Chain A
Amino acid sequence: MHPAFSVIFLTTLIGVGQGLFLALYTGQVYALFHVLSAQGDRQFYAVGSMIALAFLIAGLVSSFFHLGHPERAWRSAAQWRTSWLSREVIVLPGFMACVFGYGVAHYFGWNVPLFTLGETLQVDLIMLIGAAGTLLCFALFVSTGMIYACLRFLQEWHTPLTVINFILLGGASGFALAAGYAALAAPALTGFYAKWALIITVLAFVSRSASLVRNHKLKPKSTLQSAIGIRHNVIAQKSQGFMGGSFNTREFFHGKSAAMLRSVKWLFIALTFGLPFVFLTWGLSSSNPGLLLMAFFVQYAGLIAERWFFFAQANHPQNLYYQTVS
């Protein structure tokens, strides 16, 4: 497939926003159960939510560049029964509203306990909004991942690993950003976020490697034989029907060499997993905000390469019909 930067930025930016929100809420829940003693102040969570929201908005804006008719984008919520894209379009604003509400509730300190669960667990409005946000956050990860994973003949994408990768990569970048942000604004929380960022980065490395191995072993289900329905081992296209380019030749092929694809793969492995791991461990031991922020920025650059590779690697069966110009 041809990697479109609008979609690359959409998926990576909202991933960061989602991960950052999850990080903030996880920290709060940990504190609630007294697992984590140090809590940041209200301001920390309020500003953190707004940073997450800014990433989500940036992603949303970027997505509009993918549309031929952005002014009709409102129509795209219509088919939520069948279309994962439609579901994403509905869940994203819902999640953004929760992130906004979560930040506002923290800012105004709406933490009067509404009711008590069990003996000691006091539930306030902030916790409720956060819980709803967490649900919508995962719904959004699943929707975004399933947009790609539901296309069965794009075999590179048609796997649960696609959804898992979206969740883990978004989570890793969000927690890395949270670590950098905490190092600046609430140093007591830095270790917590940085350690989780490390754990999720390692998990993401495992699952992304699994999908790389899987895709490497894939055998295309469609062949030139099934594409034109002729049973013969030797079939060669002599003409694709036109001598210039077309939508079919531009949209479904990355147009880069195999060597370029390989280098992007190693680049994204280094930038998304290797270097952030080094920066995070180093930043964790030295409590240096610069190193932790560096980990995030390097990882984000890696994610752009990762998403580019994700698109470029997918081999659409329609390409079987468009192989020779003459």
Chain B
Amino acid sequence: MTQLALVIDLNVCVGCHACVTNCKEWNTSGMAGPLSDFNPYGADPTGTFLNRVQTFEVGTFPNTETVHFPKSCLHCEEPPCVPVCPTGASYKRKEDGIVLVDYDKCIGCKYCSWACPYGVREIDEKQKVMKKCTLCVDRIYDMGLPEKERKPACVLACPTSARLFGDVHDPESAVSVAIRESSGYPLMPEWGTKPSNHYLPRRKTQLRIHDDELVRADNPLKKERLLPKPDKSEPSLDDVTSW
């Protein structure tokens, strides 16, 4: 059984919001659109987004670390938003595990957003239906696109490759390997929603430098041996030698 998901590497996310911008751009004109904005240039702008990047500071100054934290629908394996929907508009696809909203069935009661602990469902205030990340379902199966572009818009936009996309149920997939090898974790595991999207933790970067990396041990001319040169003020060979 396939379960498509995103794996987000917090170690390399720099918080540039490229994924947010590209997500909005692709989806506002795609099947989830229009993701309406209100008052975009005014004092109190608001709008519908399927993806947000938030920033947290961990620790106490001066020992702090900034964590940029992208968040979109986690496509839970036990999605609490699906069973509460009274119309069946909110559903999880059997074939690939993507959680979607049928905008023609949604009555805009907002109950599914109450049932999501992650706050990743947003109602479109203009269309009055619930919107959420579709994993760019209209891109990833589009045979008209070159294969390397059949990925969610956010993944394609990420300049640091912080976002991986694939089948987390396939143990050989890049996402499964990343989760396994970099200790990927789900959010709020206490509610048993089993999110499919995983996050890779920040890692300490360490560099060990060995002596032979500073001195070219295999240099046949042994050029380094000529250095350092003795100081000019030091007695020269002429000074210490009596002829």
Using a CB–CB distance below 8 Å, which chain A residues touch chain B?
Answer: 1, 66-70, 72-73, 75-79, 82-86, 89, 147, 150-154, 221-222, 224, 226-230, 232, 234-248, 251-252, 316-319, 321-322
User: CA A275 – CA B183 in complex, angstroms?
Assistant: 59
Cβ 8 A contact of B57, one of A1, A236, A246, A322: A236
Nearest neighbor of B82 in chain A, beta-carbon distance: A82
Q: A238-B56, A317-B188 are in contact. Are A68 and B119 (CB under 8 A)?
A: no
User: CA A245 – CA B202 in complex, angstroms?
Assistant: 29
Nearest neighbor of B39 in chain A, beta-carbon distance: A244
Is there contact, CB below 8 Å, between A222 and B49?
A: no
User: CA A79 – CA B88 in complex, angstroms?
Assistant: 6
User: CA A209 – CA B187 in complex, angstroms?
Assistant: 34
User: CA A229 – CA B129 in complex, angstroms?
Assistant: 30
Is there contact, CB below 8 Å, between B106 and A321?
A: no
Nearest neighbor of A232 in chain B, beta-carbon distance: B58
B20 within 8 A of A: yes
Within the complex, what minimum Cβ distance (angstroms) separates A289 from chain B?
40
Is there contact, CB below 8 Å, between A316 and B188?
A: no
Is there contact, CB below 8 Å, between A67 and B109?
A: yes
Is there contact, CB below 8 Å, between B117 and A318?
A: yes
Within the complex, what minimum Cβ distance (angstroms) separates A212 from chain B?
21
Contacts of B111 in A (CB 8 A): 83, 85, 147
> A-facing mask of B181-193, CB < 8 A → 1, else 0?
0000111111100
Cβ 8 A contact of A83, one of B60, B71, B86, B108: B86
Cβ 8 A contact of B190, one of A224, A226, A316: A226
Nearest neighbor of B44 in chain A, beta-carbon distance: A244
B69 within 8 A of A: yes
Is there contact, CB below 8 Å, between A72 and B87?
A: yes
Residues from 15 to 49 in B contacting A, C-beta threshold 8 Å = 17, 20, 39, 44-49
Most chain B CB within a 10 A radius of its CB, from A68, A152, A240, A322 = A68
Count the B residues whose beta carbon is within 8 Å of the partner chain — how many?
61
Is there contact, CB below 8 Å, between B84 and A69?
A: no
A-B contact list, 29 entries, CB within 8 Å: A68-B106, A68-B108, A68-B109, A68-B127, A69-B106, A69-B107, A75-B89, A76-B87, A76-B109, A78-B87, A79-B85, A84-B84, A85-B86, A152-B80, A222-B117, A226-B187, A226-B189, A228-B56, A228-B67, A228-B69, A230-B67, A237-B54, A237-B55, A241-B20, A241-B53, A241-B54, A241-B55, A245-B46, A318-B119
Contacts of A224 in B (CB 8 A): 56
User: CA A235 – CA B64 in complex, angstroms?
Assistant: 9
B125 within 8 A of A: yes
B174 within 8 A of A: no
Is there contact, CB below 8 Å, between A83 and B84?
A: yes
Is there contact, CB below 8 Å, between B125 and A69?
A: no
B105 within 8 A of A: yes
Nearest neighbor of B53 in chain A, beta-carbon distance: A241
Is there contact, CB below 8 Å, between A246 and B46?
A: yes
Within the complex, what minimum Cβ distance (angstroms) separates A81 from chain B?
9
Is there contact, CB below 8 Å, between A229 and B85?
A: no
User: CA A238 – CA B31 in complex, angstroms?
Assistant: 33
Is there contact, CB below 8 Å, between B123 and A247?
A: yes
B165 within 8 A of A: no
Q: Which 6 A-B pairs have the closest CB atoms?
A: A68-B108, A318-B119, A68-B128, A82-B83, A241-B52, A76-B86
B110 within 8 A of A: yes
